Amino acid sequence: MQRNPGESDFHQAVKEVVETLGPVLHKHPEYAEHKIIERICEPERQIIFRVPWQDDNGEVHINRGFRVGFNSALGPYKGGLRFHPSVYLGTIKFLGFEQVFKNAITGMPLGGAKGGADFDPKGRSDSEVMRFCQSFMTELYRHLGEYTDVPAGDIGVGGREIGYLFGQYKRITNRYESGVITGKNPHWSGSLVRREATGYGCAFFVDEMLKVRHDTIEGKICIVSGSGNVAIYAMEKLLALGAKVVACSDSDGVIHHPKGIHLDTVKRLKEIERHRICDYASEHKDAQYIAGGNIWDIPCQIAMPCATQNELDERSARQLIANGCIAVGEGANMPTTPGGVKAFHEAKIAYGPGKAANAGGVATSALEMQQNASRDAWSFEFTEKRLQEIMRNIHHECYETAAEYGDSSNYVIGSNISGFHRVAEAMLAFGVI
């Protein structure tokens, strides 16, 4: 905290991991001897750069771009790019730190990184977004490579942005290096299921948590915060598994539709028309729009926070528990505050932390990299089956590791220790670098 003042999100992420590592340091004193924690908490590289661009009226704007390569012990840096006005160095460092452990528990050979800019694509024309992405990549390209650093999308960076970013990389480098960025359109070297992967994977993880409790998703009432990529496809898979989704949201408010959310409407409003979620209520008169509402006040059995960090606080967690919630799966990164996490553990509900529950996105990015490397293209069904297997393995790894350290129901301990152990062993093998 002294070395990184003002970076509260980063402080929170580090504390959440480090405070669970006492038992593993006792079992492996060599980790402390070689200062693994001190080294793993310091990024290997931090890049900050200026991003100048012109809007459609000819006005010049200046944004700030970031790329933080946190740890490459297990493979090339891998992690998304976030375009949002709230982005600052602390945001990127928290996300990159989380990514290290998330990538590790997938079992894939991936390091952890994150990047982005304080640019808001909301309300900007396609031409403005293109010019921003081209300016951003003009600086970032020199730090990327399929064996060095492979970015992907995150909040504010979808298929449109990935296309502009990759196009500029291709233009500058004179190389069609497909594996340098993931989340690409399947028509030009992308992977089927990549768009759906984070949301699908989160639903698969919740299903696995319920299975060990001799329960199932089928028939459960669910709420999903957000209405972006992760939320939409979490809802899609929940519906496919027999659940009923009754609420979703965006930054302006909440839609509550007791008869069940019409996912086709949400997809059209958000993915095609780029409208706000309030427009849903004008098309479905039996749905209620709650401006500025708290989605966690709506009764449910399964809650999936899929919007942004620290969206679910202790009060909301206790409200969910009081309303009969039995499982929480984090589709977003660190969406639950420490107080909320503590409440879930005290209530003994099934709680899947983001670094495990939303790892399906980066896992499928790794599958996209495999297809790019082999000049191959897999079917949707084959890729989804691989994703489901990976999520099942992640759950098993977290569950067994947590049991080894005294509490099989604590997936926070399981994911943190499992990911840390894999990274630490690689760092020991490489020496002091």
Q: Which residues have a catalytic role annotated?
A: 114
What is the CB neighbour count within 10 angstroms for residue 429? Answer: 8
Whole-number Å distance between alpha carbons of 163 and 169:
10
Q: CA of 143: how far to CAs of 48, 68, 79, 428, in Å? A: 12, 11, 14, 26
**215: which residues sit within 8 A by CB, 6+ positions away?**
326
Say how many CA atoms lie within 13 Å of 35 toward its Cβ: 7
Q: CA of 144: how far to CAs of 53, 112, 117, 166, 425, in Å? A: 21, 13, 16, 11, 26
Nearest to 247 by CA among 272, 221, 228: 221
CA triple 178-202-361, angle to 5 deg = 10
Known binder of ligand: residue 365?
Answer: yes
Known binder of ligand: residue 198?
Answer: yes
**94-132 in b/e burial notation, b at 16+ Cβ within 10 A?**
bbbbbbbbbbbbbbbebbbbbbbbbbebeebeeebbbbb
The torsion angles phi and psi of 156, rounded to 5 degrees, stand at: 80, -5
State whether the Cα torsion 236-240-243-246 is positive or negative: positive
Known binder of ligand: residue 415?
Answer: no
The single-letter code of the amino acid at 103 is: N
- Cβ-contact 365, 76 below 8 angstroms: no
Alpha helices (runs of H) in 41-155, residue ranges in sequence order:
89-105, 126-140
Known binder of ligand: residue 229?
Answer: yes
Nearest to 369 by CA among 210, 175, 200, 147: 147
254 beta partners? 249, 290
Known binder of ligand: residue 78?
Answer: yes
Which amino acids are annotated as binding site for substrate, given as ranges? 78, 99, 102, 153, 365
Which amino acids are annotated as binding site for NAD(+), given as ranges? 198, 229
Which amino acids are annotated as binding site, given as ranges? 78, 99, 102, 153, 198, 229, 365
